[in-house]
Structure 1
Amino acid sequence: MDEWQVLQVDSDSDESKQWQKVQVLSVFQTCTLESGQENWLVSPPIPLPPELPLGALLPLRIRVSFLMHACNYTRYSLDECKNYIQLYAGYFPPGTNSTNASSLDAVNFIQDIQLRSPGAPDSVDVVYNVTAARAQGSVTDQIRIALRDPGSCTQGLFVSVAYFICMPIQGVLVSFPKSFPSSSPVQGSCISGSHPSNPPLQRVCSFDGSWSPQNGRCVCKPGYKRTATGCVETSPCESYPCFNGGTCLEENGGFRCECSVGFVGQTCENANGPCFRNPCLYGQCSQSGMDGYSCYCQDGWMGTNCDQEDHCFGQECSGNGYCLNKQNTYSCQCQLGFIGRNCQDRVCDLATCYNGGSCIPDSDAPDGYKCQCTEDFEGLQCLDRIQRCTYTVSVKTSRAVGAGTDERVDVTLGVQKFGKLKRAQFEVQGNFESGNLDTVTKTLPLCGSLRQIEIHLRQEKINYVNNWKLRQVTVTVDDNIIRKIYVCYFNTWFRPGDYKNRACSLL
């Protein structure tokens, strides 16, 4: 706890002699004061110490603190407010009415106290010396502290008073600390039309607000908001005044809204454009251009205006196909190798191929697959064993093509089996010398009712060798001679499977 210290510098004095701390008093009051008034704040009587000897020095340390100065705010103009208050102190005769300003002429003016300005402290310390100059006897005089407000609009004051007794000795140097304790509070009083504020002032407004003693809080003017430290300026766009996706722009101390497409008005509050009538039944409308719009449908809906139920919503066809919307239902278009309403089955898992045959997915097959049989079986499920027949073809020409020249005669067999005509083709190759037979034997998995045998000759070779013609063709099937043989002429090279544009005649 800091105390006032008395340092004796007299060489004949005893340093152990100290001033006596008699009492520490405090005066506290908050008043609501208006500009243009003559307001006073007067402390109650402060009794002098009864042991104060004649000629003793009584230093008073007075601290004046102020919570706020209304001149810093917009409530009053600077011409209406004074920037100071006046401090008075002195003896008051017994019976002086502290609430009567006319009785304050007994106090002495001490000094003007400049009120707070930006960067200045919130309190002022003043030292005032009172000298006990009265006669010996009972102590009846009292000391009072008074503050006069000539119209400074100060809204809160805090007055603290402390004193010590300094004995009348020579060579005394007094040093005061920067702070001192307060005890024994003494309540002051407001006079001259001012009144106590309730609740007491607790907060200081910035220059963009004013204090409201009625509700004990800072009231900010338009365009400012209240924070823990006072009123701070706000952006007109901070409250997001533009509706429906509009963009707020600060302009000339206010704001302007740039509206999204399809909205008008000062704050974009009015709808306009093709989306105004909500054409999207189950979706969100988005305007495009001046008159166009697009609908973004909710899940489960489709169509230009989101008015058609999407039966494919949530249906992925097992990941093996794609969904097709139909009237009140859907269907799955399966990938090759999958079947079922939702393409959930592998076609070859359901297929049966016998005798070592393997399943091959085939979109053209009735069941979506076919069986690839081994060389000894055939049929849809490889149930039919293949029969093999031996074909022997002998060819004899009227003259030789040329010594050492290999020539070819194409033979096509057509066999009727199971109601279908099947063909097999092979070659008879040799020099075809006059009078000689060139023979080839083929064993083929082609048995059944032999329908036709064709010998294919290339026309350009016949023209090249004059008078070249087939002299004899003999065909046997499993040692059975076939009598009915056709000779066919082609204008171009014969290609397997090419049975058109040919001229055939019975040999």
Structure 2
Amino acid sequence: PHLERTDCLGRQETHGSLKQVQKLLSAHETSYLQSLRNLKKKINLLQSNVGKPAIKPINSTCTKLDAPINGRKLGKSHSVGHEVHFLCDPGYELVGSESRICQESLTWSGQQPTCRDINACASSPCLNGGTCTDEVNQFSCFCAKGWAGATCQSPVPTHCCGCCCPTATTGPLVRPSRCTVTQGTTHCTCEPGYTISGRDSNTCTDIDECELFHNGQAGRLCLHACVNTPGGYRCSCPIGYDVTRDGRSCKDIDECATRRNNCTNEQMCINTYGGFQCVRVDCPKVPNAAYVKTSPIWRGESSWGGISPKSPCLFHSMSSRKRRMKMETCLEFTGQTHVWFSFSYGLYI
């Protein structure tokens, strides 16, 4: 065969090629080791994060809000999204936000309100140089020398005798004022719940809180009806309801449970909102059977372990093969919540 001659590389050229390959392998080895070190760092970081417990929020509620001085706060929850409301006592007006909401930032919306005394002197009621002093639900005038009266409207008489001095009218809604004279200045005040009657400083009339605060910023005093009383007020409820412990709300009276009803022994008492109903129980008439009414209005634990029915009917039925006695309520009515009771006992032949 024909062979071609190929010249081999010289020793020096071969040595140079091997050096280039060695450098290339060293560079790859360095890059590979650096990648392994980076991967190891990331694995260690992940392991340390997995081992740590989850960070829980320290607090998920807003700070507690206080009721303003001479006022009240309605609402106890401080969680996110909840709202609180503020009211002022009689004789004070609310300044600021009437309600505040706990926001997701755990801060309250609006500004903390205050209760400011209603300034009765804003209209300058004192005449003839008198000085007005604001008080709770009323005002008083310090009159200049020579003047007297609730608003300093009357000149002071030089002499006064028993036959001509005015006398104060008294009654449950009218009380005499308490006046003091110091260096010719008359200062008259009233008992709590009363105010000076017009321009007559000798009498005090009752303050009708029901009318005064019916549409005020503080809201209605009573949820149903407000009754004015001498020096105060009270809340009343419609027939069939009692006033709750807070003195403002109404709750239904259970005439059946408290025996405040006129139902007879043949009737069942059903409590309703604001009253009650007396329902007569009539046993059904079934052919070839008989119902016998037992004692009505019977409560308590029965021999079957349940609550015994009211006005039950005892049912007797006969057949050629068996006898069965069954007790069941025979009351059914609409518009009211009711429960059916059924108890069976007897001997089967």
TM-score over 0.5 for the alignment? no
Structure index of larger Rg: 1
Higher relative contact order (CA 8 A, sep 6+): 1
Choose between structure 1 and 2: higher strand proportion: 1
> TM-score range, shorter-chain basis?
under 0.3
Higher helix share: 2
TM-score norm. by structure 2 comes to: 0.24
